[in-house]
Amino acid sequence: MNAGDTICAVATPPGEGGIGIIRLSGEKSIDIASAVFVGSGGRTVRDYKTHTLHHGELRAPDTGERIDEVLVAVMKAPRSYTCEDVVEFHCHGGPLVLRLGLEVLIRSGARLAEPGEFTKRAFLNGRLDLAQAEAVIDLIQARSQTGLRVALEQLRGALSDELGRIREGLTRLLVEIEAGIDFSDEGITFISPKALAAGVGKVAERVDRLIRTAEDGRIVREGVTVALVGRPNVGKSSLLNALARADRAIVTPIPGTTRDVLEEFVNVRGIPVRLQDTAGLREAQDVVEREGVRRTHDALARAELVLAVLDGSAPLDPEDRRTLELLQEKSAVLVVNKADLPPRVEPADLKGFVEPRRIVWTSATTGAGLDELRDAIRDTVLRQGLEPSEGVLITHLRHRSALERAKTSLDQALVSIQQHMAAECIAADLRVAINAIGEIIGETTTDDILDRIFKEFCIGK
Amino acid sequence: MIIRAHDDRFDVIVVGGGHAGCEAALAAARMGARTALLTMEEDKIAQMSCNPAIGGIAKGHLVKEIDALGGEMGRNTDKTGIQFRMLNTRNGPAVRSLRAQCDKKQYRLAMQATLREQPDLTIYRGTVDRIETVGGRVSGVVTGAGARLAATAVILTTGTFLKGLIHVGLNHFPAGRAGEDAAEHLSDCMREFGFEVGRLKTGTPPRLDRDTIAFSVLTPQPGDDPPSPFSFRTERIPMPQVCCHLTYTNAETHRIIQDNLDRSPMFTGVIEGTGPRYCPSIEDKVVRFADKPRHQIFIEPEGLDTHEFYPNGISTSLPVDVQAAFLKTIPGLERARMLKPGYAVEYDYIPPRQLHPTMETKRVEGLFHAGQINGTSGYEEAAAQGLMAGINAVLKIRGQAPCILDRSEAYIGVLIDDLITKDAREPYRMFTSRAEYRLLLRQDNADLRLTDTGYRLGLIPESGYRMFCEKRDAIARERERFRTIRPKQTSEFLARAEALGLQSLGAAITLEGLLRRPELDYEAVIGLAAVEGHPDAAVREQVEIQAKYEGYIHRQSHDVDNFKRLESRRIPPDFDYTSVKGFSREVLEKLQRVRPHSLGQASRIEGVTPAAISLLQVSLERSRRNAA
């Protein structure tokens, strides 16, 4: 909303695409872009002429971590869409890279653009003519409404409750501090620094927990890829069908029936999972099988979780052992299938390959153990082990950056309390945090605080 | 100078001689406008109608700002103050605030003397019944006696006098203050102009006879020694300083009040106006906080040679016999004689969202409102508005740009913006928590923030301004010295540092770096580094505050930059909000009701969303280009 800020957003439609563009506009565009981009030949965005395109890497300035190989386009004011300094990063498409790119820009001082804000700036700065004003208004309106709807959907349930509790916790502390400032001559005892530090610490911890669930939030929103691997005929396709509850893969008792990588989108405990059935890792007999094995290796490399499947009714063979060895490297769950048949695999045989809680005994035929398998997938994928249905997941970058701002201020408050800084400084930090939370769930004003003080304390001479 | 010829023509007429009226009249006359102050009773000019104190938390900030702009309240308090206390010393510098007990009579007389000596200012006696207009512009006033006074601008500072109604128990009678007539006709005239008029209530405690108070059993509460003045131009506090006292109510007091609630105008619904929650009557406190065993009462002298004492904390509108009965239960007041009973007063006010930020009304050009007529409470809030109304009335007459202080510049800016933007449901009082840029708006830097403005307006005399400039330069030089001196870390230095518990000082640390350490203040740094300190305490204080709070000050300054951008986007007064597509009905209604003067003000209206501001911004640009 503030014309002077530098704003950023993804400028291409959401979803998987060949190229995704992140756009940056405002006074500090060139500075911010210089901080996150290293051109081939070591040059920075500051060195580039306007309206030129350069190759290089997008990096996190704090860690130096490379995010993507990108092309950067520099368009200096006033010859740009918004008539401000604009820098665009052309990244490889894919939500993950674009999200990481935005995060880096926000951490370097940009702000996520409001709905329709680039176009609004273009109009306000005289780039668009009067005839287009109506279209600008429609755009702002439509985007705000969509944004609002999405935000409301995300805020339903437990997340909203948790944010409400955080805000209430902060408000209560602020009420104490403010009462102690504005009514210090009323003969009332207010909160001690020690209790204040404890209170702020507790809320900061809750905010932190929410931020840590952000990664889980991404998984819940964007999903994960899970690969099924194991020698032929252990029942991978049956498992896939059982999880998907559809006869998608061709299931026959003949080894090697699954020649290609089959995939199915299934919902596992609220998480969208792209489940890939692979051809397995056997010594290939022919060209077709060799190709299948190569694709299996590719699929394993891409997968965020591997389901290694054994036939529990047959003794372990060399290919099973190759599969088990894979488990050391990847995040994995070991599935011992065909539990309905007389067992030939003992838990002792599996010792050392994977933790016991990551072993699930199933029968794709009877459906036994499938619920446990679903739980195991969820628990392995979500680091925080939270129930997605609880909804306490931050799935939106805007929310996450607001939470991070809140956390920074609360940390500052804790340092200041320790240094015996004035109460009004601590109050300033708490207000930043409350406003940041307020951005997610709705505004708070100073009048709320005064209302609370008058309700809770006997004020007045 | 008192002239009673009734055919005079003035630039500015101020109606009402309270704290708002005095500042308005002085500012206008000092800026060279031919000014008249109309009052019902000359002897009551600058009367402190309620408690005998000026300042207090956040209010003290207002007084310092009034002073820095060239107003009179701070200087007048310094002349007549008999106890000065800096409040909130346990909190930080931003919320420290000065409060002074004044000799009420001396306060009034000193202010009256200042008014009389002021060139271009005439004091009239009379009630105003009507405002006259020509073509929607104010042209003068008509007094109760039928006299017409012509003026280019009129400032109404009528306090609690508009249809004032005093309640003592279930009895009530029209009056502006105890013993003074109310103004019965002016608010009808305002209604005729189309102003919305509301009703508020406030109250005051009984006054007690000094000779009947047992001071020996009360807790004494002395003032600061030496006392510090309000005005940056005051060198010495002339009046002898006195002690205040503290006592408490108890269970028996509360029982008597509880037993007589059926005779309270508040609890029987006789009073319709809304009272302030921050200044509740004792009956209110006893009912709402029934579990509180006692409430504190400050026993404050109303002056050096008066018998009247003010028991601060027991404002009441209970019947006189109940007031007498509960007083007898309070330690030290068992034999106290009431000189005047407490009472509540209801009065008309004109909701201030009908004002421009200059204090001029939107309905009648040239008509300004300041003080309690705008629904505020407090001498300081009134004086601040009076000053700004006086300044802007003159600027308007001269055809010059108005003087509008914004929320990042002064508490006065916060006050006026709140008044014109929010719908107050109770008398408005200033609190530090209302100021979002509180760390920047300190009482210690009010002169640094506002003296230039006061000088430009012609309200600060040359000599005062020269002193100010010297102080400002001295602060800059001292800060520079602190940034550049790196004390040699000799063995003596290191020994002193260790004694202070300092660890890991960088080898190249400056005096300023040392000052930022939480363990050290200015004096400690000077001692540690063995360098000379600055002789002026005010300079030392500034250097310390600016260094210690630099991080926070810097962050708030950054917020101010963003704030200023929206603030500078003006909305034309005749802007047609219905031409904006996409506002919700609620947003449209609110914008039309308040008619904000800037995008910033619009964004502070409750319920106006960021998306609505975006729509408004685009629509403003569209209509600007359409007009061009």
pLDDT digits (tens, 9 = 90+) for B324-357: 999 999 999 999 999 999 999 999 999 999 999 9
- Whether the bond between A78 and the residue before it is cis, its omega within 30 degrees of 0, is yes
Q: How high is the pLDDT of residue A391?
A: 45
Query: Would you call B487 an interface residue with chain A, using a CB distance cutoff of 8 Å?
Result: no
A32 burial (CB, 10 Å; 0-12 / 13-18 / 19+) is buried
Tell me which residue in A114, A184, A449 faces B57 most closely, judged by beta carbons. Answer: A184
Query: Using CA atoms, how far apart are residues B100 and B112, in angstroms rounded to an integer?
Result: 19
pLDDT at A364: 85
pLDDT of res. A257: 47
Give this complex's ipTM.
Answer: 0.91
Nearest beta carbon to residue A458 from set B289, B581, B613: B289
* Residue B212, C-beta contacts closer than 8 angstroms, at least 6 positions apart: B335, B336, B337
Q: What residue ranges in B16-96 does DSSP mark as E strands?
A: 35-39, 53-55, 81-87
Instruction: Give the range with max mean pLDDT: A66-75, A91-100, A178-187, B394-403.
Output: B394-403
Pick from A280-294, B184-198, B550-564: least confident = A280-294
Give the pLDDT confidence of A402-430 residue by residue, as tens digits: 899 999 999 999 999 999 899 999 999 99
Average pLDDT over residues A298-313: 83
Cβ separation of A460 and B436 shorter than 8 Å? no
Q: Chain B 95-124, CB below 8 Å of chain A: which residues? A: 95
Tell me what pLDDT residue A14 has. 66
Q: What is the pLDDT of residues B141-151, one digit of tens each?
A: 999 888 899 99
The pTM (predicted TM-score) of the whole model is 0.83
pLDDT band at B388 (very low <50, low <70, confident <90, very high): very high
Residue B153: C-alpha distances to residues A234, B357, B392, B482 (Å): 95, 16, 10, 50
The model's confidence at residue A220, banded by pLDDT at 50, 70 and 90, is low
What does the pLDDT average to over B390-418?
A: 98
- Report CB contact under 8 Å: A461, B298: yes
Q: If pLDDT is split at 50, 70 and 90, which confidence band does A390 have?
A: very low
Least confident of A58-62, B26-30, B433-437: A58-62
Verify whether the Cβ–Cβ distance B614 to A424 is below 8 Å: no
A136 reaches B (C-beta below 8 A): yes
Percent of chain A with pLDDT over 70: 80
Q: Given this model, what pLDDT does residue B67 score?
A: 98
- Has residue B364 got a pLDDT over 90? yes
Instruction: With CA atoms as reference, report the closest residue to B16 among B117, B164, B200, B202.
Output: B164
Q: Pick from A136, A187, A425: which is nearest to B552 by CB? A: A425
**A151: chain B residues, CB-CB within 8 Å:** none
Find all residues with CB under 8 Å of B476, minimum gap 6, and list them: none
Q: Cβ–Cβ of A450/B431 closer than 8 Å?
A: yes
Rg (CA), chain B: 26
Three-state secondary-structure class, residue B187: helix
Predicted confidence at residue A251, as pLDDT, reads 45
CB–CB contact A133 B615 (8 Å): no
| B465, pLDDT greater than 90 | yes
Q: Is B434 on the interface with A (CB under 8 A)?
A: yes
**pLDDT of A143 over the 70 cut:** no
**Number of neighbouring beta carbons within 10 Å of residue B535:** 8
Q: What does the alpha-carbon distance between residue B248 and residue B331 come to, in Å, rounded to a whole number?
A: 7
The tens digit of pLDDT for each residue in B46-98 reads 999 999 999 999 999 999 999 999 999 999 999 999 999 999 998 999 999 99
**Spatial distance between the Cα atoms of A384 and A380, rounded to a whole number of angstroms:** 9
Four-residue CA torsion sign, B255, B257, B260, B261: negative
| pLDDT computed for residue A459 by the predictor | 77
Higher local confidence (pLDDT), B278 or B404: B404
CB B416 within 8 A of CB B364: no
Cβ-defined contact of A445 to B606 (cutoff 8 Å):
yes
Nearest-angstrom CA–CA distance, B110 and B54: 15
Judge whether B460 and B70 are in contact, CB under 8 Å. yes
Residues A331, A380: contact at Cβ < 8 Å?
Answer: yes
pLDDT value at A446 more than 60: no
Band (pLDDT 50/70/90 cuts) for residue A349 is confident
Buried b (16+ CB within 10 A) or exposed e, A197-224: bebbeebbebbbebbebbebbbbbbebb
Q: Which of A4, A180, A427 sits opposite B562 (nearest CB)?
A: A4
Mean pLDDT of B166-175: 90
Choose among B278, B549, B581: nearest Cβ to A425: B549
Answer whether residue A152 shows pLDDT above 60: no
Strands B35-39, B121-125: pairing is parallel
A191: pLDDT strictly greater than 50: yes
Residue of A nearest to B519 (CA): A419
Nearest to A139 by CA among A111, A163, A120, A165: A120
Q: Do B433 and A133 touch (CB under 8 A)?
A: no
The partner residue sitting opposite A181, judged by closest CB among B95, B295, B297, is B95
CA B436 – CA B452 distance, rounded (Å): 23
Structure tokens at B536: 């002026």
Residues A185, B581: C-beta atoms closer than 8 Å = no
Interchain contact B62–A (C-beta under 8 A): no
Element (H, E) at A295: helix A287-302
Looking at residue B626, its pLDDT comes to 85
| CB within 8 Å: A1 and B614 | yes
Beta bridge partners of B100: B54, B84
Q: Which residues contact residue B125 at a Cβ distance below 8 angstroms, ignoring those fewer than 6 apart? A: B4, B38, B39, B40, B41, B42
Distance in angstroms (rounded) separating the CA atoms of residues B274 and A275: 66
Lowest mean pLDDT among A199-208, A357-366, B507-516, B589-598: A357-366
Listing from the earlier edge strand, what are the strands of the sheet with B97-102?
B53-55, B97-102, B81-87
Question: Based on the number of CB atoms within 10 Å of its own CB, is B274 exposed (0-12), middle (13-18) or buried (19 or more)?
Answer: middle
pLDDT band at A283 (very low <50, low <70, confident <90, very high): low
Question: Is residue B565 less than 8 Å (CB to CB) from chain A?
Answer: yes
Q: Are the C-beta atoms of residues B37 and B14 closer than 8 Å to each other?
A: yes
Closest partner CB to A425 (pick from B87, B439, B611) = B439
In the prediction, which pLDDT does A432 show?
A: 94
Mean pLDDT computed over B595-609 = 92
User: Pick from A454, A456, A185: which is nearest to B425 by CA?
Assistant: A454
Judge residue A352's burial from the number of C-beta atoms within 10 Å of its C-beta, 0-12 exposed, 13-18 middle, 19 or more buried: exposed
Minimal CA–CA distance to B241: which of B360, B335, B103? B103
User: Quick check: A454 and B277 CB within 8 A?
Assistant: yes
Confidence of residue B107 (pLDDT cuts 50, 70, 90): very high
**Partner-chain residue, chosen from A2, A114, A460, that has the shortest CB–CB distance to B279:** A460
Residues 144..173 of A with a Cβ closer than 8 Å to B: which? 144
Average pLDDT over residues B247-259: 96
The answer to whether A141 contacts B582, with C-beta atoms less than 8 Å apart, is yes
Helix (H) / strand (E) containing A29? helix A29-36
% of residues, chain B, pLDDT over 70:
99
pLDDT above 70: residue A431: yes
Residue B584 in tokens:
């919700």
- Cα separation values, A130 from A140, A201, A233, A396, B461, Å: 16, 52, 68, 34, 51
Which of B423, B343, B492, B444 lies closest to B65 in space, CA to CA? Answer: B444
Q: Is the minimum CB–CB distance between B12 and chain A shorter than 8 Å?
A: no
Task: List the beta bridge partners of residue A9.
Answer: A23
Interface of A with B in 100-119 (CB under 8 A): 114-117
* Residues B190 and B373 sit within 8 Å (Cβ to Cβ): no
Contact across the interface for B622 and A140, Cβ inside 8 Å: no
- The answer to whether the CB atoms of A137 and B87 lie below 8 A apart is no
What domains are defined for chain A? 7-121 (3.30.1360.120), 133-213+394-442 (1.20.120.430), 223-381 (3.40.50.300)
Please compute the mean of the pLDDT values over residues B510-525 and round it to a whole number: 93
Instruction: List the one residue out of B624, B580, B627, B626 whose CA is nearest residue B602.
Output: B580
Find residues 373-392 of chain A whose CB sits inside 8 Å of chain B.
none
pLDDT interval class at B267 (50, 70, 90): confident
Give the mean pLDDT of B553-573. Answer: 91
Residue A157 has pLDDT above 80, yes or no: no
Cross-chain Cβ contact B312/A461 below 8 Å: yes
Residue of B562 and B311 predicted with greater confidence: B311
Q: Which residue has the higher pLDDT, A223 or A26?
A: A26
Q: What is the rounded distance in angstroms from the CA atom of residue A377 to the CA atom of residue B106?
A: 83
The answer to whether A147 and A424 are in contact (CB under 8 A) is: no
Region A227-251: mean pLDDT is 74
Q: What is the mean pLDDT of chain A?
A: 81
Model confidence at B519, pLDDT cuts 50, 70, 90, reads confident
Select the highest-mean-pLDDT range: A128-137, A178-187, B358-367, B499-508: B358-367
**pLDDT 10s digits, B185-233:** 999 999 999 999 999 998 899 999 999 999 999 999 999 999 999 999 9
- Determine the Cα angle at B260 with ends B257 and B265, to 5°: 100
- How close B466 comes to chain A (CA, Å)? 33
Written as six digits, the tokens of B551 are 């991080």
Task: Fill in the amino acid letter for A400.
Answer: R
Q: Report the residue of A120, A127, A408, A461 to disrupt the B interface, i.e. the one with the largest count of B CBs within 10 Å.
A: A461
| Residue B190, SS3 per DSSP | helix
